[in-house]
Amino acid sequence: MTRRELREHCFKMLFSADFYPTREEAKAQLGQYLVSPEEDGEDSQGELLILHKVDVDPENGAYLQERTEAIMDRIPELDSRIDEVAAGWKTRRMGKVELTILRLALYEMEYDSTVPVKVAVNEAVELAKKFGGKDSPSFVNGILAKFIPEEKTLEGEG
């Protein structure tokens, strides 16, 4: 399974967890995501589409569950950081899709040294294109850009 596929599953798990009344209940339900049945539907031409299919081996399933729980444990901190930079927006006013993407990306930027910052931002924008509205990619990019450290100029350059 690719990192992009794992990230997308993590996004979906985080998104669904936001609908449970307590963090404990949400964490208890994470395992259900991994065993949920395949869902399909039809596109506008009547062609069969797979809407949801989780084909995750036990190792990747454990990784997804641990990662999602780690992000959930940091939601108050992540939301506070997002609130600090989101001019005119507070996390409580943001769409659930965009907020979930921002949480995931900021977690990757701050706590996952295996994901370069620019990759985390790019992947967040791709998730926003796939799951958000038409303005979601630019909104997500604009917020996350504020977390990218300014590159220092070399001495002697002007």
Collect all residues with Cβ–Cβ distance below 8 Å to 12 and sequence separation of at least 6.
Answer: 33, 52
Tell me the two tokens of residue 117: 């910052």
Q: Which of 100, 102, 101, 98 is nearest to 82 (CA)?
A: 102
Query: Is it the case that residue 106 has pLDDT exceeding 50?
Result: yes
One-letter amino acid for residue 128 of the chain: A
Q: Quick: pLDDT tens for 38-52.
A: 666 666 777 776 655
For each of the domains in the chain, give its residue range(s) and CATH number, in order of start. Answer: 1-72 (no CATH), 74-148 (1.10.940.10)
pTM: 0.84
Q: Quick: pLDDT tens for 114-140.
A: 999 999 999 999 999 999 999 999 999
19-24 mean pLDDT: 88
In the prediction, which pLDDT does 73 show? 95
In the prediction, which pLDDT does 152 show? 41
